């Protein structure tokens, strides 16, 4: 079983554990949607629904006297829009065991989608007739400004990884061993726009220098070649010459390794990106994540080619509309064309 299969299997196990604590109609729902939902998405939805039923059990007198596993679709049918809104209000801000819990509007939207999806599924199958979520006054979506690195910021960011520029004395102690690996990771991010989970899942055997590409498993499980530049190829070759220094086990095929010789985790990569952002771009520390490196690639690629379909394919988007967020012209671009028609 390879890394991608292990990850999906892990989420399947976690999903089933959650479903064991939830009403039977939830298991039926997820079985019915398993062709449409990835394991990660299904687990996320189940987590949200689990929190919803926990809330009903603890805060709604009708549901409080029974085990959550014994709730039925008839119980679901009696919930009103106001009941859902009270749950969302509670999720926005509440205290639990002395700990203050806050959730943003974007997080609340995920709960709304999970609950609405459950109702919609059973309405289509004529087990329910009404979706109380439909009447909720949803927050108006606002366009988020794309956070990206400009060329000089990219240079400083990569210099931090390659040369340790701006790192603390303690960080410098570990930098010499990891600089080639970290530089290869950040360069690959900026040169391909792949997701952090996709990068973490790369095996040595996925690399093809003949094709100048790496084979990755996209969100949704599709396999795709992602192409990299000659410069990135050389940086990857340099890292491969040092990969043995991490002492990988004989059967460890992961490309990027940690100090134990095992696959570098998604969380470790996220922390590493934050470390170099802190040292090189202190004014953007809180904003730079692997996803923002993906945004940087997307906007750079779109500026260079003007081909949104090509960019969409490179990012692995299943819907072209998802890519249009990167097509918003920034201030500099709009200034460049101010005299174009004169």
Domain ranges of the chain: 3-135, 151-326
pTM here is: 0.77
Sign of CA dihedral 32, 34, 39, 44: negative
What is the largest distance, in Å, between two alpha-carbon atoms of the chain? 74
Question: Residue 294 catalytic?
Answer: yes
Q: Report pLDDT for 3.
A: 77
Question: Residue 183 catalytic?
Answer: no
Q: Report pLDDT for 62.
A: 92
Question: Residue 143 catalytic?
Answer: no
Question: Residue 94 catalytic?
Answer: no
Query: Given 247, 317, 333, 338, which residue is catalytic?
Result: 317
Closest Cα to residue 82, out of 72, 93, 74, 90?
90
Query: Given 148, 154, 181, 294, which residue is catalytic?
Result: 294
Q: Report pLDDT for 159.
A: 94
Query: Given 12, 50, 291, 303, which residue is catalytic?
Result: 291
Weakly modelled stretches of the chain, pLDDT under 70: 1, 141-144, 220, 328-342
Q: Report pLDDT for 194.
A: 93
Query: Given 175, 181, 195, 275, which residue is catalytic?
Result: 195
Q: Report pLDDT for 339.
A: 56
Question: Residue 89 catalytic?
Answer: no
Q: Report pLDDT for 140.
A: 74
Query: CA–CA separation, 2 vs 15, rounded Å?
Result: 20
Query: CA–CA separation, 229 vs 181, rounded Å?
Result: 17
Q: Report pLDDT for 78.
A: 96
Q: Which residues contact 230 (CB under 8 A, 6 or more apart)?
A: 212
Question: Residue 175 catalytic?
Answer: no
Taking the CA atoms of residue 255, residue 258, residue 261 and residue 265 in that order, the dihedral angle to the nearest 10 degrees is: -70
Span between the terminal Cα atoms of the chain, in Å: 62
Q: Report pLDDT for 334.
A: 54
Closest Cα to residue 61, out of 83, 46, 81?
83
Q: Report pLDDT for 1.
A: 64
Query: Given 57, 219, 284, 303, which residue is catalytic?
Result: 219
For domain 151-326, give its CATH number from 1.10.1200.10, 1.10.10.10, 1.10.443.10, 1.10.1740.10.
1.10.443.10
Beta-bridged to residue 312, according to DSSP, are: none
- CA dist 147 to 172, 194, 298, Å? 28, 16, 11
The beta strand positions in 117-250, using DSSP E, are 207-208, 213-217, 223-227
Instruction: Determine the 3-state secondary structure of 102 from DSSP.
Output: strand
């Amino acid at each position: 079983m390879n890394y991608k299969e292990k990850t999906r299997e892990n989420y399947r196990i976690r999903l089933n554990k959650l479903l064991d604590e939830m009403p039977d109609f939830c298991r039926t729902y997820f079985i019915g949607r398993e062709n449409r939902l990835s394991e990660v998405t299904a687990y996320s939805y189940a987590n949200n629904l689990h929190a919803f039923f926990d809330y009903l059990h603890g805060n709604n007198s009708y549901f409080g006297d029974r085990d959550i596993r014994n709730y039925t679709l008839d119980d679901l049918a009696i919930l009103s829009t106001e009941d859902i809104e009270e749950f969302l209000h509670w999720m926005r801000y509440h205290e639990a065991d002395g700990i203050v819990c806050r959730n943003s509007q974007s997080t609340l939207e995920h709960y709304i989608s999970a609950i609405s999806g459950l109702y919609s599924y059973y309405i289509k199958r004529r087990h329910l007739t009404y979706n109380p979520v439909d009447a909720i006054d949803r927050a108006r979506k606002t366009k988020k400004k794309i956070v990206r690195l400009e060329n000089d910021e990219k240079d400083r960011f990569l210099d931090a990884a390659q040369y340790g520029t701006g790192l603390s004395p303690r960080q410098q102690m570990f930098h010499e061993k990891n600089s080639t690996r970290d530089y290869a990771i950040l360069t690959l991010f900026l040169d391909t726009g792949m997701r952090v989970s996709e990068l973490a899942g790369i095996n040595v055997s996925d690399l093809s220098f003949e094709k100048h590409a790496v084979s990755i498993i996209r969100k949704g499980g599709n396999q795709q070649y992602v192409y990299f530049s000659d410069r990135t190829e050389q940086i990857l070759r340099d890292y491969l010459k040092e990969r043995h220094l991490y002492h990988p086990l004989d059967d460890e095929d992961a490309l990027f390794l940690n100090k134990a010789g095992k696959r570098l985790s998604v969380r470790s990569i996220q922390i590493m990106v934050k470390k170099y952002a802190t040292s090189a771009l202190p004014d953007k520390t809180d904003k730079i994540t692997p996803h923002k490196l993906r945004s940087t690639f997307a906007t750079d690629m779109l500026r260079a080619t003007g081909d949104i379909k090509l960019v969409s394919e490179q990012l692995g988007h299943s819907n072209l509309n998802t890519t249009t967020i990167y097509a918003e012209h920034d201030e500099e671009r709009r200034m460049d064309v101010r005299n174009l028609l004169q």
